[in-house]
Amino acid sequence: MTVTDALLTDLYCLTMAADYLHEGAADDLVTFELSARADRALTVAGVHEALAFLEGLRFTESDLDWLARQDAATFDAPVLARLRDLRFTGSVWAVREGTIVPAATPLVRVTATRLQATLVESPLLAATNYPVRVATNATQIVRAAAGRPVWDFSMRRLDGLGAAHSAARAAYLAGFAGTATTAAARDLAIPATGTMAHAKVMARGRAGETRVFCDGLRARPAGATLLVDTYDTLQGVRRAIEAQRLTGGRLKAIRIDSGDHATLARAARGLLDAAGLTDTQIILTGDLDAERIAALVAAGVPAGVFGVGSQLRGGEPLSAVYKLVEQPAENDPALRHTMKLSPGKINDPGAHQVTRRPDGTHVLHLAGESFDGEPLLREVMRDGARTARAPDLAADRVHAAAERDRLSPTGLPPLERSPRLLALRARLASAADTEAADDREEPAMPAETALIAVDVQHDFLPGGALGVPGGDAVVAPLVAAARDVALVVKTRDNHPAGHCSFAEQGGTWPPHCVAGTHGAELHPDIAALPGPLLDKATTLGADAYSGFDATGLAALLREAGITRVLVGGLATDYCVKATVLDALRAGFDVTVLVDAIAAVDVEPGDGERALHEMAGAGAHFTRGWGREDSNLRLTDYESAALTN
Query: Would you please indicate which residues are annotated as catalytic (active-site) residues?
Result: 455, 536, 575
C-alpha distances (whole Å) from 289 to each of 314, 316, 334, 355 are: 8, 14, 46, 31
Contacts 24+ apart (CB under 8 A), 204-213: 206/231, 209/236, 209/239, 210/239, 210/242, 210/243, 210/246, 213/239, 213/240, 213/242, 213/243, 213/244
Coil, helix or strand for 295?
helix
How many angstroms separate the CA atoms of 500 and 508, rounded?
Answer: 9
Q: Cβ–Cβ contacts within 10 Å for residue 60, how many?
A: 12
How many angstroms separate the CA atoms of 111 and 335, rounded?
Answer: 16
How many angstroms separate the CA atoms of 41 and 196, rounded?
Answer: 35
How many angstroms separate the CA atoms of 275 and 282, rounded?
Answer: 15
**35: β partners:** 106, 321
SS (H, E, C) 356-377: ECCCCCEEEEECCCCCCCEECE
How many angstroms separate the CA atoms of 387 and 91, rounded?
Answer: 10
Q: Cβ–Cβ contacts within 10 Å for residue 469, how many?
A: 12
CB-based contacts of 481, cutoff 8 Å, min separation 6: 451, 566, 568, 593, 596, 625, 626
Q: CA 195: distance to chain centroid?
A: 35
- Whether the CB-CB separation of 50 and 127 falls below 8 Å is answered with yes
CB-based contacts of 398, cutoff 8 Å, min separation 6: none
- Whether the CB-CB separation of 576 and 568 falls below 8 Å is answered with yes
